[in-house]
Amino acid sequence: MSAIHPILLTVILLTGLFLWQQQLLARRLMSGLALLAGWVVVLAGLDWLEVSVTAVFRAGLWLAGWFFFLWGIGISWQIIAGGLVLGSVLTTLPFVPTEALLGWGLVTAVPLTALLHNHTRQPSASPAKRPVQLTSPLTTNLITSDHPILECLNEGVICTQADGLIVYVNQAATQMLNQPANTLINQPITDILPHLPMLAATQGEKFASEFEQNGRILQGQLNLLYDQTGQPNGMVAVLRDITEEERARTARDNFLTTISHELRTPLTVIKGYIELMVAGAGGPLSETQTKFLETIQRNVTRMVHLINGLLFATAIKSGRIEYTEGMTDFSRLIDQITRELQPKAAADGQQIITTIDPKLRPIQADPIHMATILEELLTNAIKYNKPQGHIYIQATPQPGNGEEQAFVIISIQDEGIGIEPEDQMLIFEGFYRPEKQERHIQTGGVGMGLSIVKALIEAYNGRIWLDSTPGKGSTFTFIIPTKQPDPTLPFLPK
């Protein structure tokens, strides 16, 4: 008996088991495999009985096996007929090993077809779910006894009435607060969660904050509930324990600070000695030696800048950044940074266009921090802009609270490659780089620039957001208050 017969039978059996495990029991496919398996048994029987048949006849038997297989996978009759005709022609050519091609072709085609079928299958339509019908209004007893869905959550949930008295606490919340549920019921939520800010009428429906309680770091969100008339009917507080996340973040920041300091010290020494050698302090240098030293100097300087960026980002997030109380005139600052970066933009044929409202007044902020924000955003706009493209910078005052300028809004728009939607939510995260744009990888850096910008803006009680369309460009906009609540307090990120 030929070796191909047991191999093909084994492949068909394993394929059938695979389809069964993947719940791909398509009746026609399984029928085709069953017919093929039976036909292989017939071929093996002919070999075992040593029945003398011509090579053309044996090739015809293999073609019949291919017919069963192609029919099982749903190939159209026209293609099947064309394939059988082609196979019949091959059987007439003496120099073509037709039987081997047809047999080993099935050994390969059967499992590949099963894998492709599994990859391209469409999910079967599931029966429509019936909506949950309640015979009585949704109450605390109904939630906790008949439908204990909230007890399955890892997040803490606290429900209150309109007067702020707690009516329900799930198990996760009692563990976070380290108090049993019976001591929390009927207590004012402001007494239980004094660090969770209450909502004012102008603050919208949701507010999230982080605070420490009972030695744990919690993240809280308070949601107002309304009745059918639009009146407040209660509140739901959702708590999330982020203690371990904060510890991991602190450990990471400490590691980055330590390793950056350890790297910066020898690099500073290397940089100093290279500058001395380039200046001729070690004797005359040849032209080749000078070029080598200049290359080393450029790369050492780049490493020092990267390390300083890491230290700066870590200092911002840990609240250890140096803060100088002062006023920032965005009109002058934008003009200064634009003039500094104009040669870099002009090298690629780009043009920077600024529009500054003449009513714009200085704000209460450290000019060095504001310059860092503007320089990073404008540098990115130049990097990712298209050749001959434009960059638009706008700065306008925003009135509020009876003041002509309560905030300053600044936007920087480019006409470049844009950012994919799946990357926009992560673009402000530290060390994050979009993977789909090759140009992102070619621009250097460690992916901390926008993370530093966001941390600085939020430290000044501001906010930054992004509007981007892939292939058309991006617009980064940030808003900062004109005055800080208490400029004498230590500089800490929010």
Q: For residue range 209-257, list pLDDT tens digits in order.
A: 777 888 888 888 888 877 777 777 888 888 989 888 888 877 777 776 7
Say whether pLDDT at 89 is over 80: no
Rounded Cα distance between 434 and 453, Å, is 17
pLDDT at 353: 95
In the chain, what percentage of residues exceed pLDDT 70?
A: 64
pLDDT at 342: 93
Which structure tokens are listed for 132?
């949950």
Least confident among 155-159, 366-370, 441-445, 466-470: 441-445
| Backbone dihedral angles phi then psi of residue 42, each to the nearest 5 degrees | -60, -45
Which structure tokens are listed for 21?
């495990």
* Mean predicted lDDT score pLDDT of the chain: 75
Task: Check: pTM over 0.75? Answer yes or no.
Answer: no
Rounded Cα distance between 192 and 222, Å, is 13
pLDDT at 1: 47
Rounded Cα distance between 360 and 329, Å, is 8
In the chain, what percentage of residues exceed pLDDT 90?
A: 18
DSSP string, 172-241: HHHHHHTS-HHHHTTSBHHHH-TTSPPPPTTS-SEEEEEEEETTEEEEEEEEEEE-TTS-EEEEEEEEEE
> For residue 357, what pLDDT band results from cuts at 50, 70 and 90?
very high
- Taking alpha carbons only, the member of 286, 252, 293, 248 closest to residue 270 is 293
pLDDT at 75: 67
**55-64, 119-128, 423-432: which has the highest mean pLDDT?**
423-432
Which structure tokens are listed for 258?
């330590």
User: How confident is the model over 375-399, as a mean pLDDT?
Assistant: 93
pLDDT at 51: 66
The answer to whether 299 and 267 are in contact (CB under 8 A) is: no
At 395-429, the pLDDT tens digits run 999 887 777 788 999 999 999 988 888 888 888 88
- Taking alpha carbons only, the member of 360, 361, 362, 364 closest to residue 324 is 364
> For residue 477, what pLDDT band results from cuts at 50, 70 and 90?
very high
Rounded Cα distance between 146 and 141, Å, is 8
Say whether pLDDT at 13 is over 80: no
Say whether pLDDT at 348 is over 80: yes
- Taking alpha carbons only, the member of 323, 378, 372 closest to residue 354 is 378
> For residue 124, what pLDDT band results from cuts at 50, 70 and 90?
very low
pLDDT at 335: 94
Say whether pLDDT at 490 is over 60: no
